Amino acid sequence: MLGVLAAAAAGLWAWRRWHYPSFWLVVAFPLTAISVRATWRKIALGCHLTKKRQRFWFTTVPGLVASTGVVRVRRKWQRIAVDTKPFMWLPKPTRYGWRVTLHTLEGQIPADYADAAERLAHSWGVHAIRVSSPRPGRVVLSATVRDPLIRVEPLPTSPDLLKVIVGRLETGGPWIIDFKTIPHWLNAGATQSGKSNLANALVQGLAPQPVALVGFDLKGGVEFTPYSPRLSALSTTRDECVGLLDDLVALMTSRMALCRDAGARNIWQLPDNERPMPVVVLVDELAELYLMADKSEKDEIAKTSTALLRVAQLGRAFGIYLFCCGQRIGSDLGPGVTALRAQCSGRICHRVNDPETATMTLGDLDPAALASARAIPAETPGVAIVASQDGQWYRARSFYVSEQVAEHAANTWAHLAPAWTDVVAGHVPQMSDADLAELLDSIPDPRKA
Ligand SMILES: Nc1ncnc2c1ncn2[C@@H]1O[C@H](COP(=O)(O)OP(=O)(O)OP(=O)(O)O)[C@@H](O)[C@H]1O
């Protein structure tokens, strides 16, 4: 008997160890679902999610004090106030845990459940609970049993232009940076938080696409110089930055004229053979563009700041996109930064040292997002809070892309880098849709690299 039990336990352990997804579905999830349903009343009470409602109560021993300790029962049938829990549907399994729909009680809003999320997670012993509301009166609790971002496996490359899969969301879905939907991005984080790794993932993803890449690297060029074969332009000093920004503004003005003459509102409405190549501008250490060593730099900084802001304001329609990285992106750097931040709807906040940076990067998001950003541990570089236009925020982690891998991609696809003078002169049209589809289909899968 003992031998059979030991063999069964060893079998279950091996099953869990070698094929967790099927073990979760067949063994662990049904037990978890039963336990979630069985404990809901007590947990809802402990998390203050119940409401008092009048109910008929039957007691076999009139005269005793009822279990709530409040009501003295005099008759067998009595109308008393009882704690009612929100109605819970059956939990459903997900890739990393489970989710369940609840009916809110009168006067409750999804924020009440979001406030209680941490208590719920501790009560059920899960990694995290996220709250969403698909429609009024319903709240969905999504539980992740284990942190899915401890280890992230690469995904296939995206088959679309200007779309790069850079990591995974905590939901298990891909973390996509899509410049066509969200043209400008801010990527903030303390040192060693994973900002450069994300930029590497972006370079690796964009290198095989027909886009012109431009780098601003005021860390003396240490970050982007290895990728220079695939960059059409790279500036590493303040002077070079001013010149390159002038080029970008001139490029934008000429594209504006092109669109106006063709009666188009943006470059994507132009015919195939006239559409210019999109430009992605990567900025590392944004603050350096705004820092003033002495007063003689004041005019130069004002010029840089205005040009960058113009690119951010008007670039979207004319195929110029920004990806700005920095340790601090605060208002103390001047009004130019605040205005630029307002134009960047894509926000990525890696681990930060001070709550202020999280607030500055993630803006007026849900306070839970700020708390989550501050709680990112140093042991998991690359984990970030990502906010985009859908108003939702997600925990996500970038794939690990070493400098060598990104450099290899930059060298492999160096022939796709157009000369900057040609881009500025408008001599680099975008490929036809058929050629573009063929090129994007030919990109090798990074999982096989
Ligand atoms: N997604 C990830 N998975 C695993 N390791 C990562 C990931 N992202 C970053 N790292 C590791 O964390 C360390 C710091 O990353 P990175 O250089 O990108 O940080 P950073 O924020 O750019 O730092 P700094 O501002 O000092 O340049 C590196 O050793 C890198 O290999």
pLDDT confidence of residue 160: 85
Dihedral, 418, 421, 425, 429 alpha carbons, nearest 10? 0
Average pLDDT for residues 129-135, to the nearest whole number? Answer: 90
Question: Is residue 404 part of an annotated ligand binding site?
Answer: no
Confidence of residue 117 (pLDDT cuts 50, 70, 90): very high
Return the higher-pLDDT residue of 299 and 98: 98
Q: What angle do CA 382, 384, 386 make, to 5 degrees?
A: 135
Helix ranges (H only) for 191-294 are 195-206, 238-262, 286-290
381 Cα to the center of ligand 1, angstroms: 6
What pLDDT score was predicted for residue 302?
A: 85
Q: Look at ligand 1, atom 24, and give the residue with the nearest C-alpha.
A: 191
- DSSP line for 358-399: HHHHHTT--HHHHHHHHT--TTSTTEEEEE-TTS-EEEEEEP
Q: Say how far apart CA 179 and CA 320 lie, in whole Å.
A: 9
Which residue is it, tokens 């690119």?
311
Residue with tokens 């607030």: 359
Q: Whose Cα sits closest to atom 12 in ligand 1?
A: 381
Atom 23 of ligand 1 has which residue's CA nearest to it?
A: 192
Q: For atom 6 of ligand 1, which residue has the closest CA?
A: 381
pLDDT for position 300: 81
Q: What is the pLDDT of residue 153?
A: 77
The residue to mutate among 191, 193, 224, having the most atoms of ligand 1 within 8 angstroms of its beta carbon, is 193
Q: Ramachandran region of residue 391, left (φ > 0), alpha (ψ -120 to 50) or beta?
A: left
Quote the pLDDT of residue 290.
85
The reply, when asked if residue 384 is annotated as ligand binding, is no
| Distance in Å, CA 197 to ligand 1 centroid | 5
What's the Cα-to-Cα distance from 198 to each of 166, 262, 394, rounded to whole Å?
7, 37, 16
* Annotated binding residue 194: yes
Phi, psi of 337, deg, nearest 5: -70, -40
Determine the residue of 192, 218, 223, 380 to mutate for testing ligand 1's pocket, defined as the one with the most ligand atoms within 8 A of the Cβ atom.
Answer: 192
Residue 67: its pLDDT value, please?
54
Render pLDDT for 385-430 as a digit per residue (tens, 0 to 9). Answer: 998 666 678 889 999 999 999 999 999 999 989 999 988 888 766 6
Give per-residue pLDDT as tens, 279-325. Answer: 999 999 888 888 877 777 778 888 888 999 999 998 989 999 999 99
195 marked as part of a ligand binding site: yes
Q: Helix (H, G, I), strand (E, B), or coil: what is residue 342?
A: helix
Residues in the chain: 449
Ligand 1 binding site (Cβ under 6 Å of any ligand atom): 189, 191-197, 381-382, 397-398, 400
Q: Residue 65 pLDDT more than 60?
A: no
Q: Give the residue with greater pLDDT, 170 vs 98.
A: 98
Full strand arrangement of the beta sheet holding 92-94: 92-94, 97-103, 138-144, 128-132
DSSP 105-161: PTT--HHHHHHTHHHHHHHHT-SEEEEE-SSTTEEEEEEESS-TTSS----PPPSST
User: Using 50, 70 and 90 to split pLDDT, how confident is the model at 74?
Assistant: low
What pLDDT, on a 0 to 100 scale, did the predictor assign at position 220? 83
**pLDDT given for residue 112 in this prediction:** 93
Q: How much of the chain, in percent, has pLDDT values that exceed 90?
A: 47
pTM tops 0.90: no
Nearest CA to 190 out of 3, 383, 404, 415 is that of 383
- State how far the Cα of 263 lies from the Cα of 258, in Å rounded to an integer: 9
Distance CA 225, CA 221 (A): 5
Helix, strand or coil, per DSSP, at residue 48? coil
Residue 111 has pLDDT above 80, yes or no: yes
**The predicted structure's pLDDT at residue 361:** 85
Q: What is the mean pLDDT of the chain?
A: 86
Gap from CA of 31 to ligand 1 centroid (Å): 39
Gap from CA of 350 to ligand 1 centroid (Å): 10
383 pLDDT band (50/70/90 cuts)?
very high
Measuring CA to CA, which residue among 404, 396, 345, 365 is closest to residue 189? 396
Query: Ligand 1: distance of its center to the CA of 206 in Å?
Result: 19
DSSP letters, 163-215, are: EEEEEEETTSSEEEEETTTS-EEEEE--TTSSHHHHHHHHHHHHTTSS-EEEE
Render pLDDT for 75-97 as a digit per residue (tens, 0 to 9).
Answer: 677 777 888 999 999 999 988 89
The pLDDT assigned to 199 comes to: 94
Alpha carbons 104 and 50: distance in angstroms, whole number: 10
Instruction: For residues 173-187, give the mean pLDDT.
Output: 91
pLDDT at 69 over 60: no
Backbone torsions φ then ψ of 44, nearest 5 degrees: -60, -40
Domains, in order of start, for the chain: 163-448 (3.40.50.300)
Rg (alpha carbons) of the chain, rounded to whole number: 28
Say yes or no: ipTM exceeds 0.90: yes
pLDDT band at 445 (very low <50, low <70, confident <90, very high): low
Single-letter residue type at 186: L
In the three-class reduction of DSSP (H, G, I as helix; E, B as strand; rest coil), residue 130 is classed as strand
Contact 140, 133 (CB under 8 A): yes
- The more confident residue out of 280 and 354 is 280
What are the tens digits of pLDDT across the range 204-225?
Answer: 999 999 999 999 998 888 899 9
- Distance of CA 40 from the midpoint of ligand 1 (Å): 41
Q: What is the DSSP letter of 266?
A: S
Give the pLDDT band (50/70/90) at residue 72. low
- CB 212 within 8 Å of CB 428: yes
